[in-house]
Structure 1
Amino acid sequence: MKDKKYFIAVKILFYGILIINLLLIFISVNRSSMAVLISSQFTFIVFICIAWVLIKRVFSVFFTNLFVMMDKMMNREGVPNFDHIDGTYMSQIYHQLNRLYDVLQMQQSSIEQEKSKVQSFVSDISHQLKTPLTNLHLLQEALKQSGISPEEYQDCLEKQGKQLDKIDFLIRALLKTSQLENGLIQIQPREASISQTILSALEGILVPAEKKEIEVYYDNSTDYTVLHDPKWTSEALFNVMENAIKYTPQNGKLNILLSRTEKYVKISIKDTGIGIPPADLSNIFIRFWRGNTNILEGNGIGLYLCKQIITLQHGYILVNSIVNTGSEFEIYIPL
């Protein structure tokens, strides 16, 4: 608290000498005494000198502490607690610097956590790529063997197709991550058919749905012209539909319903899958969150990307889910 003590000393000295100086001037005027006037001016000069020394000392202490704090902030060290929470401007600056340091530390911690998640994700994807690539090499060698039966040949081709699907899935996951990391989601809304956007998303999930014999229903007789980005909205819808197919057992159902409210167009995507536990509903849109399931194809990006796309278009998403019954995603886009 040295700076506060110096300021108090300067104030007391200032007001004391100011009063004395005024009295001396008053006396010198009334008595026409040059000696008293000279004494008053001398006293004022002494005051200026003393005040200069004290103020210089205060600013010296202030800037020394300020530079110490800045050095520690730049070196990511703990900032010393100067306990300068009083009425002086310098104390307020100390306090604000401490707050700034805390905010920067929190941001740095958040960035490091995100960086760690990205590195872990990329490492995980790279590791997962090794398995299908190895299997493809083995299947390729098997196909080269002479005397292989037509049935075995066809079986090898089907297995190769499955491995290629895995590689395609992993590469698309990496591409989505790259888009998010580099801020490549640029929404360019235009007036377009929302039904065509839904159909575009459906094209990407029909083959995997057919493989699992999942019945997909969508009535495209209803349509609305909506201001949206067809490309990115289709990507968002595809991510939800892909999850629905992924987490729906064999012979399940997927229903897509298009309707409207007073201010929004509503796209309902309802499945008969494994459902989402109530405790996990608040986490499903968190980046890289995958939940506690036995399904390994997830990467924790799809729903996060979906929410980002819809939010950037001033829409929102509601989720209703019952474990072992199914989930319904309601996507709202402004009209």
Structure 2
Amino acid sequence: MINILRNREIRILLTVMIGISVIGVILTVILNPMAGIIVFLVAALLISCVILFTIRRYKEIEKLSGYLRSIINGDYSMDIRDNEEGKLSILKNEIYKVTLMLSKQGEFLRKDKEGLADALSDISHQLKTPLTSMMVMTDLLSQNNLKSEKRMEFTKNIEIQLERMEWLLTSLLKLSKIDAGTVTFKKDKVLVSELIKKAVSPLLIPMELKEQNLVIEGDATTSFVGDLNWTIEALINILKNSIEHTENEGTISIFFEKNPLYTEIKISDNGGGIEKEDLLYIFKRFYKGKNASEGSVGIGLAMAKSIIASQNGDVSVKSKKNEGTQFSIKFYRKGSD
């Protein structure tokens, strides 16, 4: 009772109600004493009901205050929803909706923070090896009695390690931009035949060195809506994986087609295949399977998946040991495509 009397508006309301009741009772008693008693009892009952209702509202508001304090302290487990009518019930439900939103946002930020910590740890690990190697070779290069052949060899190795680090950092920067949503992907009509031609072009020499065969099949008019340059980068990363894991004189096949739902590009090889336990993780950043090459960083396929997913697409993989691997890329159509 004392708490509600601290409210100036409540004090004014009670004062006005009591004042009107007193005046009404006095005038009624003058006219009819019995009626005055009845009016007094009714007025007292009304004022008591108002006070009880106000106290109940204050208790509900106090519960809401406690609920909000819990939210501030990071506790989102309480549920204050009710199915009653009234502005207070509506307020409860709206606060609960905001609580759910804050809870999801907090979970997202927590996962984002964990992801950032993992990424920094992975980056540190990936850079540590080439840096250590370069430090050792730099110390050796400082020796005056080092033979010129060895000096050239170490210098070349340092150059290779620097190029690897540059590629790693550039790739991570691109991935970070895609994850942050700061990359604007174009929505142009992309001919798949042109896409494949440009993606294969920088990889022809590695394929020739391994005497690998390239087979391309598909309708020249097949297309999808997307960003040509970014998709080229995605395909290059997938094709590199196929080239690396296909033996000399092996075959890499690219097949593409379009249907009412999506445009599909299949990249197949007859290499050694991917271990069953690695299939679930090959698109995970920095993951390297059992058959990964020595210089593999484990970022190419992760980048390819991010680029494709950002263009309303999807990429999956099927593989059998000693039979080969097939990557399936699908770009889904929209109503206006």
Q: Which amino acid aligns with 1:215?
A: Q
TM-score normalised by the chain length of structure 1: 0.70
CA distance in 2, matches of 1:187, 1:210: 33
CA deviation map 1:22-44 (0-9, x unaligned):
xxxxxxxxxxx966765665454
1:35-184 counterparts in 2 under 5 A?
41-77=39-75, 79=77, 87=84, 101=99, 104-140=102-138, 142=140, 145=144, 148-150=147-149, 152=150, 155-184=153-182
CA contact (8 A) 1:69 1:79 kept: no
* 1:147-296 to 2 correspondences below 5 Å: 148-150=147-149, 152=150, 155-206=153-204, 213=210, 215=212, 217-219=214-216, 223-224=220-221, 225-248=223-246, 252-278=250-276, 281-285=279-283, 287-288=284-285, 290=287, 293=290, 295=292
1:130 shift after superposition: 3.2
> 1-side partners of 2:82 and 2:320: how far apart?
53
Q: 1:47–1:266: structure 2 CA closer, same or farther, 3 Å change rule? A: same
Comparing 42-51 with 292-301, greater Cα deviation is found at 292-301
- Asked if structure 2 preserves the Cα contact closer than 8 Å seen for 1:214 and 1:254, the reply is no
Which residues in structure 2 correspond to 1:5-16 (within 5 Å)?
A: none
2:288·2:296 contact (CA, 8 Å) conserved in 1? no
Instruction: Tell me the TM-score normalised to structure 2 length.
Output: 0.70
User: What is the CA–CA distance in structure 2 between the aligned matches of 1:107 and 1:273, rounded to whole Å?
Assistant: 44
Any gaps of 5 or more consecutive residues in structure 2?
1-30
- 1:55–1:170 Cα change, 3 Å: same
Aligned residue pair count: 300
Is contact 1:283–1:289 with CA below 8 Å preserved after alignment? no
How high is the sequence identity, in percent, across the aligned residues? 25
User: Does the CA-based 8 Å contact 1:248-1:273 persist in structure 2?
Assistant: yes
Structure 1, unmatched stretches of 5+, are: 1-32
In structure 2, relative to structure 1, the CA distance for the partners of 1:289 and 1:135 (3 Å cut) is closer
Residues 153-162 or 52-61, more deviating = 153-162
Contact 2:273 2:324 in 1 (8 A): yes
Question: 1: distance between equivalents of 2:67 and 2:302?
Answer: 38
1:137 positional shift:
4.5
Cα RMSD between the aligned structures? 3.9
